[in-house]
Amino acid sequence: MPAAVALAAGGLLVSAAAPASAQTCQFLAPVGGNGVTNVVTKTISPGDPLPFTHPNWNTDFFVTQPYSSYKLFFTANSSVSATYPIQAYLKFTDGSNLQVVHESYAPQVGTGSQWVIPTTPGKTVNQVNFKIGASADEAATGFTYRISVQGCN
């Protein structure tokens, strides 16, 4: 019997569709990670670095196979609420990138957000980048958060 059947009777169209297949997702490994966890915990550092130090705003995640979409997760992990400047990018094998998140987000402690990002036709993603913190908005300096990324098909 076919997966979907449509019958026309006296102008009435009846349709029975097959159940949708479940999406499968897997966590992506962070660049420079410890190999134990794919969840990165960071504290936002100052935007005007001292000599020999750099702000820790950027975190990249490896993409090792094609996916149809990506799920990006952010959770506030500080004991006081803060506004987090959040940006995220898909980085492509041709050296270009696409900004997919750009917002200031003020979650309650222990809560967060998830963004579902479709792939870009004709492009191959090799990394997903989170950038949390900005020199123009240093109010979140010292606040801690958790991030992770999943690739889904």
Please write the tens of the pLDDT for every residue from 32-69: 887 889 999 888 776 555 555 556 788 999 999 999 99
Please write the tens of the pLDDT for every residue from 58-105: 899 999 999 999 999 999 887 777 788 899 999 999 999 999 999 988
Nearest Cα residue to 128 out of 119, 136, 137: 119
pLDDT surpasses 70 at 10: no
Looking up tokens 């959770």 gives 75
Question: CA dist 129 to 15, 38, 64, 86, 147, Å?
Answer: 43, 14, 14, 11, 11
This prediction has a pTM of 0.76
